[in-house]
Structure 1
């Protein structure tokens, strides 16, 4: 490095001053506390709400460690490629650009950041936390483990870290929203707290979190909701007893890596149609396990909604040219949604060649059904989604993730606040949209779109249910 020995020796224990002098940015009070903790303590664990600047802290710590330690190794991991590469790795590149001197000597690539001339000995590396050996095999006097969105990282990923932390120069920095009430990250803030330097950052007290975001979550879902606790206050969820789908399994789904197949097994489209002025029309897609909310808009133009669905249908078939099975299109058939169904059927009759793979299925929410456990169609669809999100099967055995949701604030909130009760004949019934609105909650439009994407439909071609 071009810094003098005296400068390196000083910055070795002073990461905040390094960032201020060399990178040219001033950390806020909480960021500075976290950085000083990493310099002074073997293990630092940070739980927080959204938007407090933790990715910047992680990036600054990576750069500081590379610049002040000889031959360090810095394995960085996160539950998904998006979180690791699109956010953390991009953040490192951003701050290296702030210092031309650092940018000349620290080389950034898509998977590794290293000191010029030492790519195999002096580096930080990105490893997605999808395999147990993601953090294995890193041996050096100075090792720094960065674990982002740590609540979503499986316990077996952490196991090799503990052995490596026995050396004096080893460090661990874990950050994340406290989404799960179990696991390594949770225990670092509870029963194993004495072994860590821990931080709790409430988004309401952070200058980096917009007051509009906090106000929106409070107004829509209340300060007593798990959505507020996790995504604003940085607290672990309470898991309310009368909530049908608990927040932790929703958050776990969001933090699951999706590995797309070249030719999907299933392509589906779902559309929840707006009924009233404040409601939204939501069009979504589901490619095997992965849900994407493709389009949101206010308004009840059924012709335009049908056009948007057909455009998405063509786009998905162009995206996956090898897919030859039907595309199931489930549409909310209540109220104005019936007009969308009618228009789609008309378009298919007029163009059977182009729309031949489209299977249009109208769905009615809240319809009474003959089922042993569930009172109506909405409750049944919620139970399907809950089952797909559950990490365990009916016998308690761990199972693969069957539904990967997008990180959408409205969707997460709507799925996690809907309550349920038992009817007089002991069937489960989730609360209706009307009751949700009486509680001051918005219409669950995004959530209903997901229900439409997941409801089992018997395929005309395969004679089987598509999920």
Structure 2
């Protein structure tokens, strides 16, 4: 081989390693739209990427491109040509048919397209694999068998990637097995149609660990330009038909962002669940027993961002600080603090205890906050570990500004009257139910509270997992914490800290309405 050619090839590989989108264009010969390129860049830079998508929006195609980029751009050799950083890529789906008809054909087309362009990628394409001359450098595809978790045990490598298509159809246990292999330079990319709002795939769209994307068929290039820009992607006529058959025409004055109303060709529409899932790439409307719809959290976070853009990062708070504290218990490492001023949660913070009780340290931090702000109030969870913290705060002389939140106590005010929701219609089984519902009333856009929440801290994931029901006497009760933890994989610490701030204490001042900012 010509020496100049070798140098040129090495330089080109360095370029491709820096820019996977360039590798996709030049080596694989593919044209990605702007949103697909953003997904590919995310996979290049981030360990976890989640993509919820409408129909025929190219999610499986971009997943295959990402897999090929990882396979060929991450392994490394020494000067002797020895493989010193191996790479393994696994593609999976819920059924054998999906593996055979979706995963493998996309990979094969990319592999053969590169060859037709004069790019001789290492390895041989077989029925379900790309196998190279190195046993520790390969791509393979197989069904995610829920009864064979040992299938994932052989995927330890310097560079490891897992691509999961139709991810909403795979059990949480399988993802737990995959998670056990996410070490070193690892990636997981999951792509799916959002058919259900529960499960690992759904949580990935809420969790803070993930880089999240949503591919909306309304914004697909073929739909926007009303012609075939990217062959194989969803087309204009299909989307137009679904707008007519899966949406209701509404007046512009009836527009409601929380219902995902949208404009199309000069008319306003309200989507049914089929349209949400198949076109918008959004989850179906939250079930009636879910406490908080995700869109309410999103709206509150948008208000928070807009408010702090207007007033600066320090903000402008005119109401009394209500400090909600969820104290770490046995087996938990963090105590969570929620700082709420009227309709604005300024921030959540946490203190790490390393699993060792640190009651005096937590009490000291609360006392210092109360000392600096003579109007501040603290609401402390006193079930279990928090009782000692509350007792210490009282000892320090802050009894008038410290409140014990016992979730098991009756939902009654200081006069012994039953606490109700904003409408006065609903009563509650206990204080926990009242406090959780108070957050629901606060976030509900129709109540005009202009609630603001800082993005992040896992609150979306926690809030949207909580379920409620009516008891036989008509009182509202929240499901047990243990049931939430089974689905979520952890306790609702941030949500609990926020709930504590709604403990019924009479306030002296209110925040002015800030709706004109939005």
TM-score (norm 1): 0.48
Task: Choose 1 or 2 for highest CA Rg.
Answer: 2
TM-score (norm 2): 0.44
